[in-house]
Structure 1
């Protein structure tokens, strides 16, 4: 009986730790993942960056597809100011074949992604960060050579129509950080498809 209780307790703790991820103010763990350009990429590579816009995304989700041009626009706007976009695909390609590495390379080429598009091979970083959907954004600010989470959530408030957006969450957060201010809105609900985790 004690063994059963212990097993259930450990299972519950594991479940909680899996679902928590980062909160605003947390130090973000670096990664070293394969990009669609065929090279390994880490946050440490961006030595001159003031921060990084991490976007967990994929090829297959309609929400992620709807945001592709806006992800490109975010990178083009903020990379020159020190906040590049890095996109990570965490989906299990067995469950969703459109998210295989080969398909990622094809999509990056088709859309001419100006940012790094990385394969979160074992879904390790989606779990560490606490990403649950695609897209799911984590805006990081570099402080004393560490990347600190400053915003978590959605890109904006209208995935269907970019022209109808009234709240530019990521854009506003990065602009605040560039001005040396704390983002007025530091977290929102990520709207998108559930990440296809391995069973």
Structure 2
């Protein structure tokens, strides 16, 4: 009986380690904040180091997803807005596959082409995606000065069509956060390409 209990406990622990039991809730601290991540420039960083005085924006992204292509201008604009507001920015690519070296080279080429001046990191073994419970690209997580989650979800209300945008959810959340207010909308549904778990 003790052996069975031990085996069940071990299995339960493994399942929890593979997938978080609950989604990341508003008010939660930055997950895996000290996990060492490889930026496409070859530099190693952590989310804690990337955080700036006014907070941190983490966005799950990639190179080739059609939704990423449709959101290129919006991604660049909101990331520049965050940086200019002294909010650290980290884009995370989880869809890596086995060949990390060529993936990082592709990420660097894409970042150069898009003129990124923020971090674009590889999420080996989908560790960040699991910790954040992120499932789509683009999917955004905004943390305040204290490293607490204040917004999660989509950049805006029309990820498939920039011309149809009515509500800029992430921009509004940044504005509210900088004003010391709770986000008027704290969570939205992120639509986009699925994040794969390799």
TM-score bracket for this pair, using the shorter chain length? 0.7 to 0.9
Cα distance, 1:63–1:14 mapped onto 2, change above 3 Å: farther
Match of 2:74 among 67, 70, 76: 70
Distance in 1 between the 2:83 and 2:159 partners? 22
Match of 2:105 among 102, 105, 123: 102
Could you tell me whether the CA contact under 8 Å between 1:172 and 1:183 is conserved in 2?
Answer: yes
Could you tell me whether the CA contact under 8 Å between 2:96 and 2:123 is conserved in 1?
Answer: no
Gaps of 5+ in 1: none
Cα distance, 1:46–1:85 mapped onto 2, change above 3 Å: closer
Q: Report Cα offsets for 1:12-38 as digits up to 9, x if no partner.
A: 675566153411111113132111122
Structure 2 counterpart of 1:122? 125
Cα distance, 1:24–1:47 mapped onto 2, change above 3 Å: closer
Distance in 2 between the 1:49 and 1:92 partners? 31
TM-score (norm 1): 0.85
Q: Report Cα offsets for 1:78-132 as digits up to 9, x if no partner.
A: 21211232101011324x99x8112111111111112210111221111111111
Distance in 2 between the 1:2 and 1:61 partners? 49
Structure 2 counterpart of 1:113? 116
How many angstroms does 1:175 deviate by? 0.5
Distance in 2 between the 1:47 and 1:165 partners? 28
Structural RMSD (CA): 2.5
How many angstroms does 1:176 deviate by? 0.2
How many angstroms does 1:48 deviate by? 4.2
Could you tell me whether the CA contact under 8 Å between 1:35 and 1:118 is conserved in 2?
Answer: yes
Runs of 4+ in 1 over 6 A off after TM superposition: 1-6
**Corresponding residue pairs, total:** 193
How many angstroms does 1:44 deviate by? 3.0
Could you tell me whether the CA contact under 8 Å between 2:56 and 2:144 is conserved in 1?
Answer: yes
